[in-house]
Amino acid sequence: MIVDINFVGLIIASIMASAVPLILASCGELITERSGVLNLGVEGMMIIGAISGFALMTVTGSLIIAVFGAMLAGVLISTIFAFLTQTLITNHVATGLALTIFGIGISAMIGKNFVGIPGKEFPVLFEGLKDTIPLLSPILFGHSIVFYFAFALPFITSYFLKKTKIGLIVRAVGDSPESASNQGVNVRLVRYACILYGGAMSGLAGAYLSMIYTPQWIENMTGGRGWIALALVVFSTWNPIKILIGAMIFGGLTIIQFHMQAIGVRIPVQFLTALPYIVTIIVLVVISRDSRKIRLSTPSSLGKSFYKDN
Amino acid sequence: MNTNLKISNVTKIYPGCVANDDVSLEFNSGKIYALLGENGAGKSTLVKILSGVVIPDEGKIYLNKNILKLNSPSDAKKNDIGMVFQHFNLFETLSVFENLIIDSDEQRENLKEKIDTIMKKYNFSVDLDVPVLNLSAGQKQKVEIIRCLIRSPKVLIMDEPTSVLTEQETSELFLSLKKFSEEGILIIYITHKLKEVMQLCDEVAVMRRGKLVSVSQINNENIESLANKMVGQDLKTIKKKKENTSSEQLIKITNLNFTSEDPFETNLVDINFSLNRGECLGIAGISGNGQSELFQVLSGEIISNKNSIEFNKNFIGDLNPQERREYLMAFSPEDRLEQAAIPQMAIFENVALNNFKSSNFFNNGLINESKIKEHSKKIISEFNVNTDNIDLKSQFLSGGNLQKLIIGRELITSPDLLICFNPTWGLDVGAINYIHETLIKINEQNKSIILISTDTDELLKLSDKISVIHRGKLSKIMNSEDVTSEKLGVLMGGGN
């Protein structure tokens, strides 16, 4: 059997494309969690981003307004979460779950008028180079700007956390908000900023789904990707590079199992559908099992409310 | 340059308690000042006010005659007030250098140089690249001190700095503090340890229940006079009578090992000892050297090899705490509100947790409330717990009362062996005295104690035999008459 080498490249590119929303949302949530805040509202923020992006695109016709509008929508909904958990000191878990339920509900409501409307074509970069190098060309060229941003993000995130002062402060707040506060760090401000950033990235992930990946609005179109993104953060032990690996495995298995279903491999469909979830978690657990590293990268104050006594 | 720090009529009121009641004090550089008082006397509140963590309700603070506005910790830093907290304010998962750079505005290279100079000058040696959680308590404290010194402070406040240090580390710290003082840094030293005040300080201010009781030169004081000022009454000193104990062996530990999965716990290596009836075995050590693991192994929270623990001629190494209690062992863990009692549950409910088959607290799965309450009242009156409301949630008991309740709950069934871990940790002198008397009484009734404690004075006072735990290994068992606190200090630091 002769396999067209460019076909392999295309499959890899499609795997990468399916990993994009996971990487974006995970890297955003990673920053939030590194500051000690557990936001389970990723799915909700993502779907709000998806409907906002799609609606703004349809109404204004501008892709730029739509993309930034989706991020702003993510920021706005995460502000609710930040206000509740940081100012009113509510429980992170319950508030995050409420945020997801709220997001799914309100997106379905807004989205009623947008069902069945075709999306717009999103411009891609380097299209002229598409046929230059075999195998690599379809992987490297001809994607949207969001795609390139997503694959740079884990490295930027890693650099930010390890090498910059603000990154250090974020880690310090996640490690011990009490100590940080006693050192004069404004814990609440840092956490607000991290939550809002997480919201923006989830919003962008959602916009990618509804504007670029499958350009249309379908109710509940995030289909649990927000939860996968959350799981990736935890199972990668808060390491952005491992998030990239996990997202690729998940994306890859999802695509491959589709193809296997299509060519009629005699494995139960349920098992194939479950495969990406199982394998991703197993792989991440195996590559992250160094308990010393887990201890060093786990934000000790994750999910705990911070009260300042005066 | 001379530094003058003045606290003027400071008052801080918390709901239900006046933490600082109209306190006025004045400090001048070149001297080391002690701020002395029991737990809850208000000294921590006062220094938190000085470091900007707590804002006073009334009163003013002056530095060199200028009024200071201390609304946040960064205000204190800006005004050159440095503070080393009792519970370290470090980020455990960050490296030492990251901990130091986080609140500094300097470039990496400049800061590195500065840290090197400080470390050379004061003979500190700390590896800058390891995460803080790998450091010993003494090293962590040095990191805190370096963090203050980087800012060349005028005032350095030390809050109970020796509670986690060995004797050797303590004397090193004192040398450094004296050096700082000679260089013109004003030092305020907060403690409840009288010996240290006598050793280190020039002037002493005593606080009691939020009020300033006295300010005096150290030359005019001695340990007894300070103790009486601190407690507000004459203290009787208790002493253990050394009697001939029986030679009947009660517990024997043979080749007990524990290997933890968690790299931040300490492994126990070849623990061997035996204890006779009526004896108290003290186990000294710096916290984090395996005490908590040893306690858990002895109490059955961690189960070990059946034959490694022989108690009353039964092999019980594989039994859980409940089953061990049936063999008449009793336990008082270190953390009163997390391990020994459940804070949100009432006193009588906490008593019922210690459930014996014979106690009939439960009938056919139902709680026998009247029986439990009767039992609880008995504990409260016999062990001097200062409350008559057994429906009170245990979190509202003071540390001392809670410890009395826990010890009472354990002892009321008259066990053969009590294992306790830091029983007087954080208690005031009165409560400590009571607990010590109670422990001595147990020995007099020919019952045994294993006392794991980080308080060397307590161990020397109560133990018949002493051993030191260091990195999960026990030293040989010594008779307490042959041991001095200096010798224990050496062993605790890993020496011979």
Q: Which among B35, B105, B111 has a CA at the least distance from the CA of B77? A: B105
Q: How many CB pairs under 8 A join A and B?
A: 64
Asked whether the beta carbons of A299 and A39 are under 8 A apart, the reply is: no
- pLDDT reading at A64 higher than 90: yes
- pLDDT reading at A266 higher than 70: yes
d(CA B367, CA B348): 11
The per-residue pLDDT of chain A, averaged, comes to: 91
From its phi and psi, is residue B380 left (phi > 0), alpha (psi between -120 and 50) or beta? alpha
Structural Rg of chain B based on CA atoms: 24
Tokens of B469: 């735990």
Tokens of A45: 């923020």
pLDDT tens per residue across span B309-356 = 999 989 999 999 888 988 999 999 888 877 888 888 888 888 888 877
Alpha helices in B151-208 (DSSP H): 167-182, 194-200
With contacts defined as CB-CB under 8 Å, which chain A residues touch B44?
none
Question: Please, which residues 283-322 of chain B have a Cβ atom closer than 8 Å to chain A?
Answer: none
pTM above 0.95, yes or no: no
d(CA B144, CA B137): 11
Domain A5-297 part of CATH 1.10.3470: yes
With contacts defined as CB-CB under 8 Å, which chain A residues touch B92?
175-176, 300
Segment holding B159, helix H or strand E: strand B155-159
- pLDDT reading at A144 higher than 90: yes
Question: Which residue is closest to A162 within chain B, CA to CA?
Answer: B98
Sole residue written with tokens 């294992």: B419
Count CB atoms within 10 A of the CB of residue A218: 16
pLDDT-derived band at A138, boundaries 50, 70, 90:
confident
pLDDT value of position A310:
47
Sole residue written with tokens 């005004």: B79
Average pLDDT (A141-166) is 95
Q: Exposure pattern of B70-101 as b/e (b: 16+ CB <10 Å)?
A: bebbeebbebbbbbbbbebbbbbbbbbbbbbb
- pLDDT reading at A236 higher than 60: yes
Q: How many helices, marked H, and strands, marked E, lie in chain B? A: 16, 23
Where are chain A's structural domains? 5-297
Tokens of B230: 């601190």
- Touching check for B238 and chain A: CB below 8 Å? no
d(CA A235, CA A227): 12
- Touching check for B54 and chain A: CB below 8 Å? yes
Q: Position A99: which residue type?
A: L
pLDDT tens per residue across span B352-374 = 888 777 777 888 888 888 888 98
d(CA B35, CA B197): 9
Asked whether the beta carbons of B204 and B190 are under 8 A apart, the reply is: no
Does A310 contact B55 at a Cβ distance shorter than 8 Å?
yes
What secondary structure letter does DSSP report for A1? -
Q: How many helices, marked H, and strands, marked E, lie in chain A? A: 13, 0
Does B92 contact A168 at a Cβ distance shorter than 8 Å?
no
Distance from CA of B95 to the nearest CA of A (A): 10
Segment holding B87, helix H or strand E: none
Mutate to test the interface with A, among B70, B87, B102, B264 (most CBs of A within 10 A): B102
Asked whether the beta carbons of A204 and A190 are under 8 A apart, the reply is: no
CATH of B249-492, one of 3.90.550.10, 3.30.70.890, 3.40.50.300, 2.40.110.10: 3.40.50.300
Distance from CA of B263 to the nearest CA of A (A): 7
Distance from CA of B202 to the nearest CA of A (A): 29
Sole residue written with tokens 């133990």: B463
Sole residue written with tokens 């409940």: B322
Asked whether the beta carbons of B330 and B417 are under 8 A apart, the reply is: yes
Mutate to test the interface with B, among A166, A175, A185 (most CBs of B within 10 A): A175
pLDDT value of position A196:
98
Distance from CA of A241 to the nearest CA of B (A): 19
- From residue B132, give the alpha-carbon distance in Å to each of A170, A237, B367: 17, 19, 48
Under CATH, what is the fold of the domain B4-231?
Rossmann fold (3.40.50)
Of B54, B94, B264, the CB nearest to A310: B54
CATH 3.40.50.300 residue ranges of chain B are: 4-231, 249-492
Distance from CA of B85 to the nearest CA of A (A): 10
Per-residue pLDDT of chain B (496 residues), as tens digits, is: 689 999 999 999 887 678 899 999 999 998 999 998 877 788 888 988 998 888 999 999 999 999 998 888 888 988 999 999 877 889 989 999 999 998 788 888 999 999 999 999 888 888 999 999 888 888 898 999 999 999 889 999 998 888 777 777 888 899 999 999 999 999 999 987 788 899 999 999 999 888 999 999 999 988 888 888 887 766 666 667 666 667 888 999 999 999 887 767 789 999 999 999 999 999 998 888 899 999 999 999 998 888 999 999 899 999 998 889 889 999 998 888 778 888 888 888 888 888 777 777 888 888 888 888 988 998 888 888 877 788 888 887 877 888 889 998 888 888 999 999 999 887 777 788 889 999 999 998 889 999 999 888 889 889 999 999 998 999 999 998 888 888 888 888 887 7
Q: Which among A309, A308, A299 has a CA at the least distance from the CA of A170? A: A299
Does A165 contact B101 at a Cβ distance shorter than 8 Å?
yes
- pLDDT reading at A1 higher than 60: no
Question: Which residue is closest to B90 within chain A, CA to CA?
Answer: A179
d(CA B133, CA B145): 17
Does A165 contact B85 at a Cβ distance shorter than 8 Å?
no
